Amino acid sequence: MNPVISIRNLEKSYDQPVLKGVNLDVNAGEIVGYIGPNGAGKSTTIKILLGMIPDFSGEVTVLGRDIRTDALEIKRHVGYVPENAALYEVLTPAEFLLFMGRLYGMDDAVIRRKAEDLLQLVGLADQIDSRMTTFSKGMRQKVLLIAGMIHNPEIIFLDEPLSGLDANAVILVKEILARLREAGKTIFYSSHLMDVVEKISDRIVIINQGTVIADGTIEDLRHQVQSGSLERIFQGLTGDDSTSLRASEFFQALQ
Amino acid sequence: MINAVLWILDRLQGLFRRLGADYLSLRAIVEMKLLMDTRRNRSTLGRSYRNADSSGRLWLVYAMNAFFSLFIGLLVSFIPSVMTGMTVLFTYLIVMVALTLITDYAELLLDTTDNAILLPRPVNSRTIWLSRLVHLIVYVSTLALSMVLIPAGAAGYRFGWWLTPVVLLLSVQAVLLAVFLTTLLYLLVVRFTSEEKLKDIIAYLQVGLSLLFTVGYQVVPRLIRPQLTNLTDDGLHTWHYLTPPAWLAGVADSLVNHVFTPGHGVLLALAAGVPPLLLWVSSRYLATDFTTKLTAMGSTTQVHTARKQSRRSVGNWLAARFTRNATERASFELSWLLTGRDRRFKTRAYPALGFLLPMLFVVLRPILEGEVSFESLQEGRMYLLVIYSSQIVMGSFYMNSFQSEDFRAAWVYDAAPVAAPGDIILGNLKAIVFKFFTPFYLVVSAGLLFVWGPQILDDLVAGYIFAVFVTTLEAWVKSRYWKLPFSQEPKTRADSGRTIILMMMLFFFLPLCGLAHWGASFVPGGTILIAGCYAAMLWGTIQSYRKLRWEQFSE
């Protein structure tokens, strides 16, 4: 089976190198958890995969197409849920989703029907025509989730999709991701919430300082580091094992 | 400068303690706010400066104020009438301070972002309120000082150096007047509204006040112009008692010319009495309410405001008819909605309409004053001036549509499969043309048709096409990279290079085209030909828009 995402020797620098030769294949129907410390290059990778950053070196293909030459066609078949809840607050969910859907060339009636159904399912039916200025972070995140999936994409990229969601909403999103996988969709997402990543990912990719340092199922990784939870594995792999010492020093300094 | 302010505050700490503030906290907060001022991009009178190294930016604002005050200083030294010269000076001061306050007030006093930092700390609300007030006064005083120092020196040079401190003292009253008049307006608004709608109303208030001051700035000099030409004192008029700058000028007049009429006594009483009265009224009746509401504003988040938006609008109807594809339509409708709701857009764009009123004044004043008859006005081609100036209004609305508080939300254009970015630009342009320029132009046309009759219909059509054409051209000229609508952070306004090009456009290109039109209007069919040329050029720029590629847009 051909991978739906293929990354070869991906390098990208701004002032300093951010990605230093990333290699990665993702197969259809996988849920890939992409984790790493702050500044490791997670969001940059996702933006490159989406065709939002055109200048990089290396080979990147998504759905069998070269991201450099076919970005437009790829964008039609992938969805994106950004991290920082950036949307036009003064619009209502109905208006925002209509706008988004149109950019994907969808029919107005279809967008409206889907928007209503989906907002209903995440518990925002009453707010469908209210401006989002007053929405909580979790409510906005729900709207962004719908906006990223309304065109029924093959691959969904999620950047911290669960931030700001309450416990019930997290469970709901996890369930939704599981359904999407059953339907053969590929999900690629970055997160800091280790316990969630551990539970819902088929595969975990850990990136640190611009390179992939671990790639496999949670069992593989456990085996590799001889350690229990993903948090411990993460700590072991990213080389930060001085945290408990630093915590006690921190406490000392408060005295 | 910060140290100087803190030194003064230290001398006054007893006062602050008596007013119920925790002085050390107040000092810390004020110091922090002043420090941030030197680093922040504040929009002073709508002009902002890029923060290459913004620590010197505030000094740049002061330097510019000083530069412009040179002209006021010149007026003060050349106008023989003390009364008139001083009225000009204080009008300038009050208008400038009030304008600054209107644009920066929300940031200074209504800034609830520090609520999140300060409210969880052991600081009482009176300390917070007082530190905001101190900050405001420091900010306004330094600004006012930079505006008044040179004119005050000029007055001293001419009438004796004892006058300089007097002018500075009177300036304090002028600043207080400006501050309290603005405050009173804001406080009244707060008093009679819920905090939920407060910011919306303030936005409209900002629009209204800027309009008022723009007009005032244009009209007051014209009111006193007869006296500029008259060049001698001719006693007091009724309008002196009604305009605050004249109260202050009256005091200077008494002192310089040693005239102490009952009229001057009234002016002195007004100048001395009104600012404290306003202070008393605002603190006695309104300030407490203001503080509580402010505190409430930042800390509560109302989740369920059941204010439903209707789904159909004229915008949808127009979008369906005047756009070519789904992307263009999406962009059109987005602009239609955002321009109606984005406070930033409203406060920045609407005041441009104020430029029209002085224009009417220019056209109509000669008639009103009987200098020119209605018939001779009809024979002239003054309407071309109005037609060609209306492009400025179009340009202002269009330029502002590229900025938004939610500029980060423009990621959607990068993520979505949009093949031709020109569609987004054109959708936005059309929305602005239909929503703002067309109604505005219709009103202006109605006025012009009333005076000149249907024979100028072809001129009006040509002017309409011209305004849209020049707007499409401006986007070409002004930037190296193309920008998407609502994708710019409001702070980063056009840099100076572009502003120069824009200025050249205003002072060179618009008049040139107007002149060509004027010439052509003497030839039969000339106006139609001009309109045809504009239409062809507009068609050309639109075609070039459609060919835009993503590479031409900046990151």
Would the CB atoms of A131 and B413 count as touching at under 8 Å? Answer: no
- Mutate which of B302, B338, B414 to test chain A, going by most A C-beta atoms within 10 A? B414
For chain B, say whether A91 makes contact (Cβ under 8 Å): yes
Asked, for residue A141, whether it belongs to a domain, the answer is no
Q: How far apart are CA B133 and CA B526, in angstroms?
A: 61
What would the pLDDT profile of A219-247 be if each residue is shown by its tens digit?
Answer: 887 777 666 677 777 777 776 667 788 88
What Rg value do the Cα atoms of chain A yield, rounded?
19
Residue B468: pLDDT above 90? yes
Which ipTM did the prediction report?
A: 0.74
CB A173 within 8 A of CB A162: yes
Is there a contact between B417 and A100 if contact means CB atoms under 8 Å apart?
A: no
pLDDT bucket at B493, cuts 50 / 70 / 90:
very low
Per the DSSP assignment, residues forming a β-bridge with A207 are A212
* CB atoms A130 and B412 under 8 Å: no
Structure tokens at B483: 């920008």
State the CB neighbour count (10 A cutoff) for residue A233: 23
Distance between CA B259 and CA B239 in Å, rounded?
19
Cα nearest neighbour of B196 on chain A: A134
Asked if residue A108 belongs to a domain, the reply is: no
pLDDT of residue B51: 40
Number of domains making up chain A: 1
**Token pair 């922040």 is at which residue?**
B40
Q: Measured between alpha carbons, how far is B379 from B531 in angstroms, rounded to an integer?
A: 22
Pick among B328, B401, B406 to test the A interface (most A CBs inside 10 A): B406
**Residue B257: CB partners within 8 Å, gap ≥ 6?**
B82, B233
Residue B413 contacts A where some CB pair is shorter than 8 Å: yes
pLDDT digits (tens, 9 = 90+) for B166-224: 898 889 888 888 877 777 766 666 666 655 566 666 667 666 766 666 666 666 666 65
Across B90-99, B256-265, B492-501, B525-534, least confident range: B492-501
Q: How far apart are CA B207 and CA B225, in angstroms?
A: 28
Question: Is A132 within a domain?
Answer: no
The answer to whether A129 contacts B308, with C-beta atoms less than 8 Å apart, is: yes
Residue A44: pLDDT over 90 = no
Is A96 domain-assigned? no
Residues near B294 by beta carbon (within 8 Å), at least 6 away in sequence = B109, B110, B112, B129, B190
Question: For residue B292, what pLDDT is reported?
Answer: 62
Q: The domain that contains A227 carries what CATH number?
A: 3.40.50.300
Helices (H), ranges, chain A: 42-49, 71-77, 93-103, 108-121, 137-149, 167-182, 194-200, 218-225, 230-238, 243-254
Q: Which residues of B touch A15 (CB under 8 A)?
A: none
Structure-model confidence comparison of residues B388 and B205, the more confident one: B388
Query: Do the chains contact at B411 and A75, CB–CB below 8 Å?
Result: no
| Sequence spans of domains, chain B | 59-299, 314-552
Q: Which domain covers residue A73, as residue numbers?
A: 5-86+153-254
Please name the residue of chain B whose CA is at the shortest distance from the CA of residue A70. Answer: B417
The pLDDT tens digits of the residues spanning B222-269 come to 665 655 555 455 667 777 788 888 888 888 888 888 888 888 888 888
Residue B383's pLDDT band, with cuts at 50, 70 and 90, is confident
**What end-to-end distance do the CA atoms of chain B give, in Å?**
38
* Cα(A20)–Cα(A9) distance, integer angstroms: 8
Edge-first strand order for the sheet with A211-216 is A78-81, A155-159, A186-190, A31-35, A203-208, A211-216
Q: By mean pLDDT, which of A120-134, A191-205, B306-320 is the weakest?
A: B306-320
pLDDT of residue A201: 85
Put simply, the answer to whether B327 touches A50 (Cβ < 8 Å) is no
User: Could you tell me which residue, B336 or B52, shows the higher pLDDT?
Assistant: B336
A34 vs A188: CA distance, rounded Å: 7
Phi-psi region at A85: left, alpha or beta (left = phi > 0; alpha = psi -120 to 50): left
| Sequence-separated (6 or more) residues with CB below 8 Å from residue A244 | none
Pure H helices in B411-546:
411-415, 421-432, 438-452, 457-478, 496-504, 510-520, 526-546
- Average the pLDDT over each of A6-15, A40-49, B91-100 and give the range with the smallest value: B91-100
Question: Are A130 and B303 within 8 A, CB to CB?
Answer: no
Max CA pair span of chain B: 80
Look at B112 and A109; give whichever has higher pLDDT: A109
Which pLDDT score is estimated for A8?
92
What pLDDT is attached to residue B466? 92
A174 with A150: CB under 8 angstroms? no
Any CB–CB contact under 8 A between B297 and chain A? no
Question: Which of A87, A104, A136 faces B409 most closely, judged by CB atoms?
Answer: A87
Interface of B with A in 435-494 (CB under 8 A): 486
pLDDT score, position B302: 42
- pLDDT higher for A114 or B131? A114
CA distance A132 to chain B (A): 9
Contact B316, B333 (CB under 8 A): yes
pLDDT tens profile B523-543: 888 899 999 999 999 999 999
Contacts of B440 (CB under 8 A, 6+ apart): B353, B390, B393, B394
Residue-level pLDDT at B496:
45
- The mean predicted confidence, pLDDT, of chain B is 77
Strand pairing partners for A35?
A206
Picking from B46, B327, B64, B407, the residue whose alpha carbon sits closest to that of residue B210 is: B46
Of A82-96, B71-85, B178-192, which range is least confident? B178-192
Q: Would A78 be classed as within a structural domain?
A: yes
| Rounded-to-integer distance, Cα B135 and Cα B44, Å | 16
Tens of pLDDT, residue by residue over B428-466, are 999 999 999 999 999 889 988 888 888 889 999 999 999
The shortest CB-CB distance from A84 to any of B326, B404, B408 is to: B408
Three-class SS of B66-121: HHHHHHHHHHHHHCCCHHHHHHHHHHHHHHHHHHHHHHHHHHHCCCCHHHHHHCCC
Least confident range of B37-51, B143-157, B368-382, B425-439: B37-51
Q: Which residue of B has its CA nearest to A98?
A: B330
Name which of B130, B110, B135, B117 is nearest B293 in CA terms: B110
